Amino acid sequence: MSARNTAAGGGDGATGEMPGDSLEGEPQGLSVSLSGLMTPASATGMASGMELPRKRKGSMDNPETKSASNLEEDMEDDQGRSEGDDQHLKIKCVREPHSQIEKRRRDKMNNLIDELAAMIPTCNPMSRKLDKLTVLRMAVQHLKSLKGATSSFAEANYKPAFLPDDELKHLVLRAADGFLFVVGCDRGKIVFVSESVSKTLNYSRTELIGQSLFDYVHPKDIGKVKEQLSASELYPRERLIDAKTGLQVQAELPVGAARLCSGARRSFFCRMKYNKVTVKEERDFQAGASKKKESQRYCTVHCTGYMRTWPTRQLGTEGEAETDKESSHFSCLVAVGRVHPHTLPQANGEIKVKPTEFVTRYAMDGKFTFVDQRATTILGYLPQELLGTSCYEYFHLDDLPHLADRHRKVLRSKEKIETNCYKFKTKYGSFVTLQSQWFSFINPWTKEIEYIVSTNTVISGKSNPGGSGDKSEQPSSSKASEDDAKKSQQVPIIPGISSASGMIYAGCIGTQIANEIMDYNRMNSSPSSGNTSPFSLLQDKSPLALAQASSNVPNGEVTDVEMPGKSSSEEEARGGAFTAGESLMEGSSQLDLEGVPGLGALSTDEAAMAVIMSLLETDANLGEAVDFDEMHWSL
Amino acid sequence: MDSVAPGKKRVSSERRKEKSRDAARCRRGKESEVFYELARELPLPHSVTSNLDKASVIRLALSYLRLRTLLKTDVLDVESELDSQWNSSYLKALDGFLMVLSGDGDIVYLSESVSKCLGLPQVDYTGHSVFEFTHPCDHEELREMLAQRTGLSKKTKEQHTNRGFLLRMKCTLTSRGRTVNVKSASWKVLRCSGHIHTTDGIKKVVVEENNMSSSYLVLICESIPHPMNIEAPLDSRTFLSRHTLDMRFTYCDERITELLGFAPVELLQHSVYEYYHALDSDHMTKAHHYLFVKGQVCTGQYRLLAKAGGFAWAETQATVNL
């Protein structure tokens, strides 16, 4: 066709003048298919020759307007560009030579022709490949024959549709397990229901037509369905969403007829009765074995549809008597109900419970340097409350030997050490059973233990193999008594603990252990490694001014400072911790503490805090938690 | 002598060229004619068919024939007059559109309602591969859906033909209802549900020649209503809520009080996970994951805790609002 010829010529011309310009490959298909405005132009395009002069002119435009004119001519030429709506070409690089585009188009066309040939029954038996024209001609014939079979031209309102309605319905039912139902709006009478209802609800359609829909809807959903069917009287207000704010707007709108107008959409789901009549049941019934079960089975049906009104005259024998209200209009809901496909895959009743865990980190001597947020829900303490305190203060007495042993072990080995179940004291005095996994993290450069990471799992319902079973509600008093009793036990394990006034310094345990390890390490390794580094890790600088006063207090003095009246072992432990801090600072300190003499001995903030706290408690007789707001903790 | 021969050759070669040009022109003319005829035979309105380019004509013809083959194998029940009356209502009643995909992802059929949902007219899609119109991240999932899981479980005789998934497709509709160019199309999340079927009636010969897989997927695709734009009015059993991205309530409709017993203020700043039934929490986590990946989600049915104890079944449609 001449049109094509010149279009191709124009295209070539384009490449000649502007190499790599493949603009004509891109937009035309889109504009062709999208705009219906092209009709007159394309119709004439089909005709011969008329386009010729125009196209020629187009191809002779100067390069600057080339793209525009090409666009134009291509829009009119729908035949030449058979790659039309080939999306791939639009996406590809613009710089591709025109010949490549053409080749691709030809290939695609050839593929399509081949596929078409395969679909046509008359083409198939042919052994040799048929040429394009013949294939197309046979396709035309085939389509004509199909058309004749499915519908007749004689129909008054012949509406060509890719898929006639009955087949469409068939496909819809293939896609979803559903049925069409039409219910009158006033009484909910089922006017029509499709045959497929027997597959979904197991009722035959004759059972349902003429019945009230509400008989088949779950009693609790009747209100909802009524709402959907009804006019505005049952709807006290329109619930609209304001597009800007996304909030609901209560509006008293004069709704009335508007909501019931044809086409108004409805979408809801409800439970519908499911007729469970199986052979087995019949047998049971006959045998009279089981009592008749009144409980109905329901299935969730997702209904989507629209409202439709008719003048009642058209309904003929099905004339509704309720015309008085609607004044000769019968409105109903036409909806497709689909058995809800989105049913949950039910778990087998096993709830996968993730064990309650939290992570803590200890310094070498067992002081908390990091506490996971999750610990608060389990232990009751805020992380700040634990930091700087020794873990031994919270371990149940019975578990102390075991845990001390583990502590030693983890400091010595590079593996993960598991503890047995042990009891950890919560804020409120009770104990929670934990089981932990410890391992020491060694700084790869300094080869020192930076901290011990502890993953603690809450164990419920297990008896503690290592410790005592009783949960003390008043820890201080009972512990005191236990302390006295078990003091002797402690001594052989933890040597060197001063036990003035019969109190135990739980915190000392940790520090002693750490000391041991460090001594051991110092003996084995070079002294330059700065063995005291475990403390310099995580914490920021806290106000240390207060600490300086007590920095050099030796062991003995600490115990004097403690108020004898205090029975809480925590405070003593803190005192102990303080001592520990001091004793550990024999090595070099990495903390720069300017102008704080003596505090050089305390390189850890935790130790400093411990000191501060003990002082505060001492001075102000405070046993309560200190206000940490001024302390700048980095958590 | 020499001067004459080249001249002759020139003439003959020119004539040959001219002949070939004429032949080509004639061929092309015939071709166009046949294409025109083919387009006319397509069961589509003329206004549509006259605009089609050649490739589209073939594509549509192919799709039509494929559809015929698909349906030929299905026995259509003889319908009564009454039934036929309502046939057209099926598609109208559905909120979305119907899509039939061949086993390798070609769009065999798309109902006209697609233009209301996604903007492009039906003919633009038909015959193309569905992968051209879907989000690249969803392609993997889509392929899985198309594949027939043969021999899935030897115990159960029937395979699971159910398919339900979320798909993102190109949408050229703006919020105001205008259409934009496909290049500036946005993604729309569609909830697709359907079944996969096999065309057992196809002769083996045809199948082998075509390399056409004998399975096809019929889907109903619906869009999930954006909370800002709800067409169908919310009924009394529906409530609206808004959450932060970690699922804590920032707003809740007061309807929840009559449904679950909570006052909206009680819920604020609480995570919605506190109200899920334990058995559903896995599923809901997955649904939330989908929500963040795709932008919208339709959860299945799950249970929500009521204030006085007990659970209520619910289903949620969620949209991420940026």
> pLDDT: is A464 or A354 the higher one?
A354
Q: Which residues in chain B have their CB less than 8 angstroms from residue A161's CB?
A: 43-44
Mean pLDDT over B135-160 rounds to 68
Same structural domain, B27 and B127: no
Is there a contact between B139 and B154 (Cβ–Cβ < 8 Å)?
Answer: no
Kindly indicate the confidence band of residue A607, based on its pLDDT and cuts at 50, 70 and 90: low
Q: Does the beta carbon of A52 lie under 8 angstroms from any beta carbon of chain B?
A: no
State the first-to-last Cα distance of chain A, in angstroms, to the nearest integer: 79
**What is the rounded (10 degree) CA torsion for A213, A219, A222, A224?**
-140
CATH code at position B299: 3.30.450.20
Q: Does the beta carbon of A195 lie under 8 angstroms from any beta carbon of chain B?
A: yes
Residue B206 resides in a domain: no
Considering A22-36, A312-326, A331-345, B55-69, the range whose residues carry the highest mean pLDDT is B55-69
d(CA A396, CA A26): 78
Kindly indicate the confidence band of residue B193, based on its pLDDT and cuts at 50, 70 and 90: confident
Same structural domain, B60 and B83: no
Is there a contact between A588 and A532 (Cβ–Cβ < 8 Å)?
Answer: yes
* Number of domains making up chain B: 3
Same structural domain, B217 and B247: no
d(CA A152, CA A140): 17
Q: How many CB pairs under 8 A join A and B?
A: 283
Same structural domain, B81 and B176: yes
User: In the predicted model, is pLDDT for residue B104 greater than 80?
Assistant: yes
Residue B280 resides in a domain: yes
d(CA B32, CA B54): 8
User: In the predicted model, is pLDDT for residue A516 greater than 70?
Assistant: yes
Same structural domain, B271 and B303: yes
Write out the two tokens for B11. Answer: 């003439």
Residues 22-81 of B with CB under 8 A from A: 25, 27-32, 34-38, 41-45, 47, 50-56, 58-59, 61-69, 71, 74, 76-77, 79
CB count, 10 Å around CB of B183?
13
Residue B121 has what pLDDT? 85
User: In the predicted model, is pLDDT for residue B77 greater than 70?
Assistant: no
**Which of B65, B99, B125 is the last residue before a domain boundary?**
B65
User: In the predicted model, is pLDDT for residue A19 greater than 50?
Assistant: no
* Option in B25, B54, B220 nearest A176 (CB): B220
Mean pLDDT over A368-396 rounds to 86
| pLDDT tens, position by position, A215-245 | 889 888 888 888 888 754 333 334 444 444 5
Residues 225-264 of A with CB under 8 A from B: 227-228, 235, 238-239, 241, 243, 246-248, 259
Residue B207 resides in a domain: no
Residue B233 has what pLDDT? 65
Residue A65 has what pLDDT? 38
Instruction: Give the SS3 label for residue B18.
Output: helix
Q: Give the largest Cα separation in chain B, rounded.
A: 115
> pLDDT: is B42 or A561 the higher one?
B42
Residue B179 resides in a domain: yes
Residue B140 resides in a domain: yes
Residue A608 has what pLDDT? 64
User: In the predicted model, is pLDDT for residue A141 greater than 50?
Assistant: yes
Same structural domain, B88 and B218: yes
Residue B152 resides in a domain: no
**Which of B37, B65, B93 is the last residue before a domain boundary?**
B65
> pLDDT: is A629 or B267 the higher one?
B267
In whole numbers, what is the pLDDT of chain B averaged over residues? 80
Mean pLDDT over A599-608 rounds to 55
Instruction: Give the SS3 label for residue A249.
Output: strand
Same structural domain, B80 and B219: yes
**Residue of A387, A462, A414 lying closest to A632 (CA atoms):** A387
Domains annotated for chain A, with CATH where assigned, are 92-147 (4.10.280.10), 159-234+258-277+294-311+329-341 (3.30.450.20), 357-461+504-518 (3.30.450.20)
Q: Which residues in chain A have their CB less than 8 angstroms from residue B38's CB?
A: 136, 139-140, 143
Residue B204 resides in a domain: no
Q: What is the 3-state secondary structure (H, E, C) of A334-400?
A: EEEEEECCCCCCCCCCCCCCCCCEEEEEECCCCEEEEECCHHHHHHCCCHHHHCCCEHHHCECHHHH
Structural domain including B253 reads 241-319
Q: What stretches of A486-607 adopt beta strand conformation (E)?
A: none
Is there a contact between A255 and A239 (Cβ–Cβ < 8 Å)?
Answer: no
d(CA B282, CA A357): 19
User: In the predicted model, is pLDDT for residue A559 greater than 60?
Assistant: no
Same structural domain, B123 and B178: yes
> pLDDT: is A96 or A92 the higher one?
A96
Residue A76 has what pLDDT? 39
Same structural domain, B92 and B219: yes
**Residue of A578, A567, A570, A576 lying closest to A605 (CA atoms):** A578
Specify the pTM: 0.56
**Which of B38, B65, B92 is the last residue before a domain boundary?**
B65
Write out the two tokens for A390. Answer: 């020794």
Say which range, A122-126, A309-313, A552-556, B46-50, has the weakest mean pLDDT.
A552-556
Phi, psi dihedral angles at A318 (to 5 degrees): -85, 20
Write out the two tokens for B23. Answer: 């032949």
Half-sphere exposure of B67 (CA within 13 A, CB side): 28
Residue B128 resides in a domain: yes
Q: Does the beta carbon of A194 lie under 8 angstroms from any beta carbon of chain B?
A: yes
Same structural domain, B291 and B186: no
Same structural domain, B28 and B141: no
Same structural domain, B114 and B143: yes
d(CA A212, CA A224): 15
Instruction: Give the SS3 label for residue A149.
Output: helix
| pLDDT tens, position by position, A278-287 | 544 444 444 4
Is there a contact between A296 and A322 (Cβ–Cβ < 8 Å)?
Answer: no
User: In the predicted model, is pLDDT for residue A356 greater than 60?
Assistant: yes
Say which range, A218-232, A349-363, A493-507, B180-194, has the weakest mean pLDDT.
A493-507
Considering A18-32, A304-318, B262-276, the range whose residues carry the highest mean pLDDT is B262-276
